[in-house]
Amino acid sequence: MLESFDNRTGVIWYNNRFVPWREACVHVLSHGLHYASAVFEGERVYDGVVFKLDDHTQRLHESAKMMGFTLPFDSETISRATYELLHRQGIKNGYVRPIAWRGSEMMAISAQRNTIHMAIAAWEWPSYFDPDTRKKGIRLGYTPWRRPPANTAPVHAKAAGLYMICTLSKHHVEKKGYDDALMLDHHGHIAESTGANIFFVINDALHTPIPDCFLDGITRQCVIDIAQRQGIDVCERVITPKDVESADAAFLTGTAVEVTPIASIETVRLKGHPLVDTLIEAFQAYVRQTCHHHKTCESVSL
């Protein structure tokens, strides 16, 4: 039986104070629960350092702005709280989940006067996919749910409501034996997986969808920068399901999945390409370098 996330030991940072994990509760009439007026982030901890914490916090502020509210705490406060939380939890390698949501003063569509709450939780989490599955590559299947166009939702916010179709999509393909779903956009072009961006290796170059209706992920940006620095051509373009048939390899990028190879998409088997292994190693080296630099700067400031 899975351990419930609401019944763990430890503490959670909740509205600028640390509370016992089991007491970090939200009222059942919270606007964030009923109307999905909530934004969040997912962050990885490597050897005690949160990778790209400033970028994630900035995106959290931007997501809140797109949802029409302002975070009740500034970036410095959030950063301090995050590292204090990691210290209290004793986490060296894990996952951090900041979230902000509208409270329960107004229980209606309009929530102009609702209090904005914020919490940060952290836990040990070595890998998103099972290590053996990740090593041989994951299997993706298509889902009937599609990413909405940019004029129908705040598609560039990491907002809770946008992930409803991701859960539906993942459940849809898991019933068929796949590891994750490949989502199309409203035109029928390839967009992303349920929680990560996607890249294809075609003719020794990287091809990736234009992030016009989904998040331009922080890990995605890192991988593009790493590839370009190594002289690898990167093409952001419209990619169709037909294009998958001409790909040699593919992989996902994201905070949780890092860089994860894809073995197949529906009936299309991908033979692989040395570029994927090169980028996996380069990304891991970049993470180590970035985290080491952070630790060095922290030591100097102390």
Strand partners, 96: 43, 122
213-218: which pairs have CB atoms within 8 A and are 24 or more residues apart?
A: 213/147, 213/148, 213/149, 213/150, 213/155, 213/185, 213/186, 214/147, 214/155, 214/185, 215/155, 215/156, 215/158, 216/156, 217/253, 217/254, 217/255, 218/52, 218/55, 218/56, 218/59, 218/255
Q: Residues 79, 129: contact at Cβ < 8 Å?
A: no
Nearest to 138 by CA among 240, 266, 8: 266
SS3 164: helix
Q: Residues 35, 109: contact at Cβ < 8 Å?
A: yes
3-class secondary structure per residue, 82-125: HHHHHHHHCCCCEEEEEEEEECCCCCCCCCCCCCEEEEEEEEEC
What tokens were used for 50?
Answer: 């949160």
Q: Residues 256, 128: contact at Cβ < 8 Å?
A: yes
Residues assigned a catalytic role: 158
What tokens were used for 74?
Answer: 């500034």
Residue 29 has, within 13 A of its CA and on its CB side, a CA count of 7
